[in-house]
Amino acid sequence: MKHNVSKISSTAWLTIWSRSSSFLFPSFLECLLVKRIASSSILRTTFTRFEGKWYGVVLNDLTPVLEVYDVRDEAEKRQILDLIWKDRFTFGKPFIRYAVLRYPTGEHQVITKLDHGLYDGTLRVFDAHFQAYQRGEEVEKFTSFKEFAFPIWQINQTRPTLDFWTQPDKRLITFNYPNVTEPCINASVTHIIHLDFETFSRSSGVTVSTLFQSIFQIWLTRRSGQTSIAFDYLYTGRNVDLPDPQGINGTCANFLPMRSEVDVQTPDQKYLLRTQDDFWQYTENNTVGTEDIYEACGVPRAEAGNQALFLFQPFEPASPAGAKEVTQKWVVMAKSEVTMLQPYAVVFEVIKTADLNGYKLRLAYDSSVWANEEVEVEVGVVEHMLSRVVGDANALIGDVLQTV
């Protein structure tokens, strides 16, 4: 099976959570994982590169890569985690592995290392299935990874998708902001913003995601001093004509290189609608790999790759930390200790909260670019810009920039 993937070697993560020893007895966990793997071919897929293209091969073996370690203290735990983190995924084994840490107290911790680019957007689906198996229930019918992958492959054989990316207003541009050599996210500032987002969305005809994306683009103009800006958009690839696309148990996320022209004389409403229209155009042509896009445009990714990333998480928040859980969760980022390599200088992440009009802004950054105090100021700037647009969508972009 051929499939397009991005940043294979740089997006693994670790998640850790704790439960009682009886609940996480390794043999029981392995039994659950085998059931999970049997129904999800993406969990037993291995990848290799051949003649410039990535290929995914689904393994017949259902045995998970699961290791058990007896740990005495925190120092030994860190050594094991470091060893697992540095270990590279190799062809012939799934791009996912598990480990169980057993402590003298009887406590267990489960570690999941996986390729983030492959599984992003699918963690919630895996979790629902994982819990169903624990309850002894059948998983409801869903669209499989195979049913997703082959239509995508067919689209790329019959549709000139790459032509979209080479159009004059869509082809890649060099936007060196922030201009950092080998950037890497290592810090962040989080702030919850409360505005009348739902009313604004209905009256303006744009999604809340589009609003935040537009503000991010205007913010990039403000910070860089350039009107032609570019960034990557982490997209989960679920805009497909398949049954229950949100329930597909495997899609490959893509880092779509987007661009925008920010004119201070453009009314906010017009810019929002244009951003939303551009978004749908980009996502309708997302079936090709990022490397293929750079190659088609004749631009070396190593030289012109974007250093800013935008992502929007529209999902309902996880249950409160104190809530009683009868079943073991699979991977829940909000309740886990996460290690994830992000080769960007700035990541603008928006997450839905339990409040209808509350959204969490997480502005992650490379500390070689900004200090924490500077980023806290920028989070306030973003909130002021949002407030200005929500308050008056007929104002000009220049008016928004002048409010901060």
Whether 257 and 361 map to the same domain: the answer is yes
172 in the same domain as 41: no
Q: How far apart are CA 391 and CA 199, in angstroms?
A: 11
Residue 2 lies in a domain: no
Q: How far apart are the first and last CA of the chain?
A: 51
Question: Is there a single domain that holds both residue 309 and residue 358?
Answer: yes
User: 3 lies in a domain?
Assistant: no
Please give the single-letter amino acid code of residue 275. T
User: What is residue 239's three-state secondary structure?
Assistant: coil
Report the number of secondary-structure helices (H) and strands (E) in the chain.
13, 13
Residue with tokens 């909130």: 383
User: Is 360 within a domain?
Assistant: yes
Report the SS3 class of residue 42: helix
Which of 96, 128, 148 corresponds to the end of one domain?
148
Residues sharing a CB contact under 8 Å with residue 253, sequence separation 6 or more, in sequence order: 6, 116, 117, 118, 119, 120, 121, 234, 235, 236, 237
Same domain, 123 and 176: no
**Are 189 and 259 contained in the same domain?**
yes
CA dihedral 180, 181, 187, 191 (to 10 degrees): 30
pLDDT band at 118 (very low <50, low <70, confident <90, very high): low
- Range of the structural domain that residue 114 is part of: 8-148
Residue with tokens 């200088």: 345
Per-residue model confidence (pLDDT) at position 3: 42
pLDDT(108) > 70: yes
Asked if 276 and 389 sit in the same domain, the reply is yes
Decide if 41 is inside a domain. yes
Task: Residue 170: name the closest of 101, 259, 232, 86 by CA.
Answer: 259
Please give the residue that has the higher pLDDT: either 332 or 214: 214
- Among the residue ranges 68-72, 167-171, 241-245, 373-377, the one predicted with the least confidence is 241-245
Per the CB < 8 A criterion, the answer to whether 229 and 125 are in contact is: no
Domain contains 97: yes
Q: Are 85 and 116 in contact (CB under 8 A)?
A: no
* Domain-ending residue, one of 90, 116, 148: 148
Compute the half-sphere exposure of residue 385: CA atoms within 13 Å on the CB side of its CA.
26
Indicate the residue among 94, 123, 148 that finishes a domain: 148
Residue 8 has pLDDT above 80, yes or no: no
Task: For 338-356, write each residue's pLDDT tens digit.
Answer: 778 889 999 999 999 989 8
pLDDT digits (tens, 9 = 90+) for 365-374: 999 999 999 9
Which amino acid makes up residue 227?
T
CATH number of the domain that residue 288 is part of: 3.30.559.30
Within a domain: residue 1? no
Q: Answer yes or no: are the C-beta atoms of 58 and 44 closer than 8 Å.
A: yes
Say if 220 falls within a structural domain.
yes
Which pLDDT belongs to residue 44? 86
Of 263-267, 313-317, 394-398, least confident by mean pLDDT is: 313-317
Same domain (yes/no): 41, 127: yes
Whether 181 is in a domain gets the answer: yes
- Strands 12-19, 53-58: pairing is unpaired
What average pLDDT does the chain have?
85
pTM: 0.86
Q: Give the total residue count for the chain.
A: 404
Is 165 found in the same domain as 44?
Answer: no
Same domain, yes or no, for 179 and 290?
Answer: yes
Residues 200, 273: one domain? yes
CATH number for the domain spanning 24: value is: 3.30.559.10
Q: Are residues 265 and 375 in the same domain?
A: yes
In 182-318, the DSSP E strands lie at 187-194, 228-235, 254-261, 308-313
- Please check the confidence at residue 281 and state whether its pLDDT lies above 80: yes
Instruction: Work out the widest C-alpha separation in the chain, in whole angstroms.
Output: 66
Residue 238 has a CB neighbour count (10 Å cut-off) of: 18
Segment 251-280 shows an average pLDDT of: 94
Q: What is each CA distance from 109 to 24, 101, 121, 233, 280, in whole angstroms?
A: 8, 5, 24, 33, 41
* Overall domain count for the chain: 2
Per-residue DSSP letters for 284-340?
A: HT--S-HHHHHHHHT--HHHH--SEEEEEE-SPPPPPTTS--SS--S--GGGS--EE
37 and 135 in a single domain? The answer is yes
- Tell me how far apart the alpha carbons of residues 195 and 160 are, in angstroms, rounded to a whole number: 41
Q: Which amino acid is at 216?
A: F
